[in-house]
Structure formats: C-alpha cells, structure tokens
A and B are shown apart, each in its own frame.
Chain A
Amino acid sequence: QSVLTQPPSASGTPGQRVTISCSGSSSNIGSNTVNWYQQLPGTAPKLLIYSNNQRPSGVPDRFSGSKSGTSASLAISGLQSEDEADYYCAAWDDSLNGHVVFGGGTKLTVL
C-alpha cells in the first residue's frame, strides 16, 4: 500500500490530453513539493517533473505538473505513442524523521 495514491491506469488517444492524479496528506504533498517520474518499459525511471511544475532540461513542454493542497496532477497534452509508460509521483514526507514516499504508479496506455 503506497503512501501516495494514484489511479492504477489511464488511457487516451494520440493528440488527446490526459491527467494523472496523486493524492497525499498534510505531511507529504501538503507541506512539500511533488515530483513525477516516467518509467518506459524495461528501463529505469526518469525525472519528468520536479518542484511541482518544473521540467528538467529535455522534457517536452507537453508535460506539466500542478499541486493544490494535498493533491497533485500530471498533465500530458498532445499525447503520443511514446508516452505509453508507467508514471509515479513522489514527495518528501515530514513524519517519522523524514523520508521519501512514492505513489503506486499509473500505467498510461495510448490507444
């Protein structure tokens, strides 16, 4: 059972806009920034969004992040076939001496 809650799956057709939610609590998302990772099949995770809405160099601006209260969202616009992957949210949690928490992941299917 992951500390951050994500829907197990999401889907969309090419060109569509898809959003993935991530729900937490006051000790993690409510008081710290949110990060998003993309994991393509058979590869290591890749940082997609950090500090709620910042994109590392090289990440297309089709990917965007937002946060409100104890929830966050990842939006992918202009969906492409190569976006089919698992997406994970993560944040720092201030409880229990401080630790990192991940969501359970969302498998995005491009139909």
Chain B
Amino acid sequence: QITLKESGPTLVKPTQTLTLTCTFSGFSLSTSGVGVGWIRQPPGKALEWLALIYWDDDKRYSPSLKSRLTITKDTSKNQVVLTMTNMDPVDTATYYCARHYDILTGTFDYWGQGTLVTVSS
C-alpha cells in the first residue's frame, strides 16, 4: 500500500522560509523511474506544480518559482523535503506531495492528503 503524508508548519510569517516534509511508504525513491513531486493549491484556486525529484537525484522546478525552491530527498528515511524561501501571503495554499509515475510525464499516481499553510504576520 502506497501512502504519502505532508508535514510542516501550518502558519508562517512573511519573509520566512517554509520547510515541508513528505514522508512516504510502499515504494522506494531508489527505484529507477520513481519520483516525488510537490503541488500546491491556493484556497478556491487551481493546482500549481512546484518541484519534482527523481530516484537519480534529477531535480526539476517550476520556472516561475525556481529561485525560491529547493527539493531534496533522504532515501533511507523515505522522505522528500521542500523548502520555499521568502514566503508571502499569496503563498497561502494547501501543499500536496505526490508520487510521480514514469519519467517526464506529469503523472502523479498517489497523493498525500495535503497540508494547509497560511502565510500571515
């Protein structure tokens, strides 16, 4: 059974750095072709892809947010960490992590439940 779960702060202040952790089970990020990505969704708005890391440590970022994002993995702990710097109220959203199926396809076959992050002073 494949599961993913996001964890991190529910409230951050403007200009702070957000660190989110995705802890997963049921698959290994050392398996060829496997990736884990982050997607966010502001309240009432559309999904927005943020970042993706593959089994071979290949990393891809949203072009519009690339300067603020860092994605890393700890294969031994089955975790993927996303950091986003210089948080702003417009970054308020539910942040999801999801397993990426196949390579360079945009196919996320398993999703976490999401975690709501509010940016406010």
Contact = CB atoms under 8 A, between A and B. Distances in A.
A94 to B, nearest CB: 8
A99 B47 contact: no
Q: Chain B interface secondary structure, helix, strand, loop or mixed?
A: strand
Interface residues of B, number: 24
Interface in A27-55: 32-33, 35, 37, 39, 44-47, 50-51
B78 to A, nearest CB: 19
A54 to B, nearest CB: 9
Interface bin, chain A: 20 to 34
A46 B61 contact: no
A7 to B, nearest CB: 13
A23 to B, nearest CB: 15
A63 interface: no
Given A35-B106, A44-B113, A47-B108, A100 B52 contact: yes
A2 B113 CA distance: 23
A96 B64 CA distance: 10
Q: Chain A interface secondary structure, helix, strand, loop or mixed?
A: strand
Contacts of A44: 96, 111-114
Contacts of B98: 45
B111 A104 contact: no
Interface in B64-106: 96, 98, 101, 104-106
Contacts of A98: 60, 104
Given A47-B108, A50-B101, A99-B62, 11 more contacts: A33-B105, A33-B107, A35-B105, A35-B108, A37-B108, A44-B114, A47-B107, A90-B49, A91-B106, A100-B60, A100-B106
Interface of B: 37, 39, 46-49, 52, 60-63, 96, 98, 101, 104-109, 111-114
